[in-house]
């Protein structure tokens, strides 16, 4: 029997970590070890000139792991994380994170801007800030871990702070393109182990 891919070994370790403690205190170390030692993620990357891509690696009850692929000049909307916890590990290139908050009086305020290089791990939740992510100086690839999985989130207008709830989709699942397929159907199939069967 073929040995599991390093990224699948990472997934098992993440599941065990969230079983042990749902806050995931050991997650940064697990992500940074994987980032330092492995490149199997490269075969699952897909880039698009239209927008950055969200590529599903794994999803279970406690978490969702995605590879995000960024072309130069692309950026995420300002968004929240639906009361979940989010870790971002940079696999290739450099990413810039911009924090935002929405004051009670209305509008939106920009906070700190921080670069993250390959090998680094960032963390955010809604208590810290909302944020925007974009690559700096060329293409970038990042691992995004959400606990619990996120099906919808809020995005914010950069001028007014007005929020809109949007559904999250996938560009590919475990390397196989699925853009345009219903994300709810994909999620069901992934959870049932029947996706791509
Ligand atoms: Fe985010």
Of 87, 64, 68, 80, the residue nearest 131 (C-alpha): 80
pLDDT number for residue 1: 65
CB-CB neighbours of 195 under 10 Å: 19
Q: Is the pLDDT of residue 38 over 70?
A: yes
- How many A from CA of 37 to the centre of ligand 1? 24
Q: How far apart are CA 176 and CA 130, in angstroms?
A: 30
This prediction's pTM: 0.95
User: How does the average pLDDT of the chain come out, rounded?
Assistant: 95
- How many A from CA of 45 to the centre of ligand 1? 19
- How many A from CA of 81 to the centre of ligand 1? 6
13-35: average pLDDT: 97
- How many A from CA of 131 to the centre of ligand 1? 6
Q: Is residue 179 part of a domain?
A: no
Q: Is residue 189 part of a domain?
A: no
37-44: average pLDDT: 96
Q: Is residue 182 part of a domain?
A: no
- How many A from CA of 67 to the centre of ligand 1? 12
The parent domain of residue 32 ranges over 6-173
pLDDT number for residue 157: 97
pLDDT tens, position by position, 46-64: 999 999 999 999 999 999 9
Q: Is residue 185 part of a domain?
A: no
- How many A from CA of 87 to the centre of ligand 1? 8
Of 133, 137, 70, the residue nearest 97 (C-alpha): 133
- How many A from CA of 68 to the centre of ligand 1? 11
Q: Is residue 178 part of a domain?
A: no
Percentage of the residues of the chain whose pLDDT score is greater than 90: 89
The CATH number given to whatever domain includes residue 18 is 2.60.120.10
Q: Is residue 26 part of a domain?
A: yes
Q: Is the pLDDT of residue 116 over 90?
A: yes
138-154: average pLDDT: 97
Q: Domain tally for the chain? A: 1
Q: Is residue 193 part of a domain?
A: no
Q: Is the pLDDT of residue 179 over 90?
A: no
99-110: average pLDDT: 95
Q: Is residue 196 part of a domain?
A: no
Distances (CA, A) of 9 to 13, 38, 87, 144: 6, 11, 18, 16
Q: How far apart are CA 41 and CA 116, in angstroms?
A: 19
pLDDT tens, position by position, 65-79: 999 999 999 999 999
């Amino acid at each position: 029997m073929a040995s599991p891919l390093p990224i699948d070994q990472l997934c098992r370790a993440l599941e065990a970590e969230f079983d042990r403690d749902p806050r995931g205190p050991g997650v940064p170390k697990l992500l940074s070890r994987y980032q330092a030692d492995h490149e199997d993620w490269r075969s699952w990357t897909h880039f698009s000139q239209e927008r950055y891509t969200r590529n599903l690696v794994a999803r279970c009850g406690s978490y969702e792991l995605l590879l995000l692929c960024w072309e130069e000049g692309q950026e995420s909307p300002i968004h929240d994380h639906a009361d979940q916890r989010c870790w971002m590990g940079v696999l290739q290139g450099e990413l810039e994170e911009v924090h935002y908050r929405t004051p009670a009086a209305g509008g939106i305020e920009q906070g700190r801007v921080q670069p993250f290089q390959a090998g680094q791990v960032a963390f955010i939740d809604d208590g810290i800030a909302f944020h925007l992510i974009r690559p700096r100086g060329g293409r970038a690839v990042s691992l995004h871990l959400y606990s619990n999985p996120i099906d919808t989130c809020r995005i914010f207008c950069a001028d007014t702070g007005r929020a809109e709830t949007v559904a999250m989709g996938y560009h590919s699942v475990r390397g196989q393109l699925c853009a345009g397929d219903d994300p709810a159907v994909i999620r069901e199939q992934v959870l049932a182990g029947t996706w791509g069967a």
